[in-house]
Structure formats: C-alpha cells, structure tokens
Amino acid sequence: MGDARRAVPSDADELVRLRGLMLAGMSGVPTPPGRWQDVARDNLRTWLAEPDPWLAAFVVDAPDGASLAACAVGTVERRLGGPDDPSGLVGYVFNVSTDPAYRRRGHSRACLTALLAWFRDRGVRRVDLRASAAGRPLYRALGFRETADPAMRLTFPAEQSFIPVRETGNDL
C-alpha cells in the first residue's frame, strides 16, 4: 500500500483522469471527453490552492512517478446544526478512484483514510458518500453504514437556469 499525500494543483490533470475512470466504472460505459474535463481541471487547480480549503484530495502516486494510482476527494459542507451536531459541518466524499492497473493494493483505503483524518481535523462529525457496489466493502470496513435517508435529485437542463418566482407574499 502506497502512502497517501495531499493533492496539489499540479495533480489536477490526473485527478480528472481518475474521475473519468470512476464515472465509467459506475455507468458501465466509457466517459466521453469534453468540456467537463476542462472545467473540472480549472476548478481543481483553484480549489486545491486555497489557503483555507473546503475541498481536499488525497492521492497515491503511481510507481512511474508521472501519474496517480488512486485518489479520494471530498468537501466540507456548512449546514445548520442540530441537537446531535451543533456545528453543522458535514463531510462529503464524492470521488474515490483507483486506476485499474493499481487496484487491490490498498491505495483507495490509504487515500480515504487520509481524507477522513482531514475531515476530523476540521471538526466534521458526519461524513456522507454515495457508494458503488465495488466500494461498499471498503466503506463498511472504515465504519460507514447505510442510512434510511431518502435521496432525491433535481437536474436542470444545461441551457436553463431556475429561479423560483413567488406569485404572492402568502406562499410561505
């Protein structure tokens, strides 16, 4: 198992490559190249350079030294707190990926363990993720449990923006 290190802006290209592999693995079809890669790369370069980051990525370098073997990326979300967690800080893991050439070597575990420590250091008490079937055993081994929270999603068409319009002042 390789040691995980904190990703830096120059890792953006490889992080986007690994994201494409993860998306392809989840959908079962190759992820097409496109503008999404440029946007993701630019965002990662900016976000990974922030002095007080809300996003972190941990990576394991491939033996060739020119690419990454694995990564885990996550964010800290700021929500209103509740009785069980007054801070309202919630971690969200959204990109755990290992290059197929380097699987079954503990690289994802190393990256995710480092990311979870980063969350703890920031006072995060709850971490959420969406698990693929392949990832569930690792997540369970690290203490994640399935929840009863129903997830729902609304996706806006790319060319449309949504701004709720209130018809009257009485609709609250």
Residues of the chain with pLDDT under 50: 162, 165-166, 171-172
Rounded distance between C-alpha atoms, residue 71 and residue 140, angstroms: 18
Residue 153 pLDDT: 86
Residue 112 pLDDT: 98
Residue 132 pLDDT: 87
Provide the CATH topology of domain 5-141: Aminopeptidase (3.40.630)
Residue 149 pLDDT: 86
Rounded distance between C-alpha atoms, residue 73 and residue 7, angstroms: 9
pLDDT tens for each residue of 47-70: 999 999 999 999 999 999 899 999
Nearest alpha carbon to residue 95 among 76, 70, 116, 118: 70
Coil, helix or strand at residue 161: coil
Task: Name the DSSP letter for residue 85.
Answer: B
Residue 172 pLDDT: 46
